[in-house]
Amino acid sequence: MDRLLVLVRHGQSEWNLKNLFTGWRDVDLSDQGVGEAKAAGERLKAKGLKFGAAYTSALKRAQRTLDIVLAELGQTGVPIARDQALNERDYGDLSGLNKDDARKKWGEDQVHVWRRSYAIAPPGGESLRDTGARVWPYYLHTIQPHVLRGEGVLIAAHGNSLRALIMALEGLSGDEIVKRELDTGVPIVYRLNADSTVASKEVLSG
């Protein structure tokens, strides 16, 4: 049985382009982001991958990425579930701020801690651990059963919601996962064993 799970971080957003903290703010893809989503779909199509279920967040940059990928695959009939459990990490008071302005306001070291620590949240926001606390149950109860039944699952989400998921899949520590960079629009193809552990992983870049 092919227990297929594919993760795609949404294409570049308009706020990625402007170097702004986005979080739960609902911004669209940039032109480059649309191109990245199309390229993701083309790479998955070249692998001949078929999906029976798709999941995304409640935010349009991830939803639009998923729609574009499925269109490129010719699989627009795949059932899609949208849930804020897969939303990006909430950056709280940092949301909407330019990252350079945030460094001027709070200091480079403090902003670095908020961005790259596992358990420390920015004011009014979520840490990566907090993000995982909503991602992990949703994956285990809602998504994983479809993967293990061999239905083929595609998830289009965000840098930090996907980091939380990858942490669980690959058994990484908090220190390890915060160092993991995820490129926009680059599919990560996992195949799972019957016990839900990872059998193989392939990153479809370039």
Higher-pLDDT residue of 86, 115: 86
Q: Cite the active site residues.
A: 10, 88
- pTM here? 0.96
pLDDT (mean) for 9-13: 97
Homologous superfamily of domain range 4-203? Phosphoglycerate mutase-like (3.40.50.1240)
The pLDDT assigned to 167 comes to: 97
The residue ranges of every structural domain in the chain are: 4-203
How would residue 1 be classed by pLDDT, with cut points 50, 70 and 90? confident
User: What percentage of the chain exceeds 70 in pLDDT?
Assistant: 100
User: pLDDT digit string (tens) for 67-83?
Assistant: 999 999 999 999 999 99
CA angle 158, 159, 164 (to 5 degrees): 95
User: pLDDT digit string (tens) for 120-160?
Assistant: 999 999 999 999 999 999 999 999 999 999 999 999 999 99
The pLDDT assigned to 101 comes to: 94
* Phi, psi for residue 103 in degrees, rounded to 5: -65, -35
The pLDDT assigned to 83 comes to: 98
- The answer for residues whose C-beta is within 8 angstroms of residue 50's C-beta and 6 or more apart is 75, 152
Residue 174 has pLDDT above 80, yes or no: yes
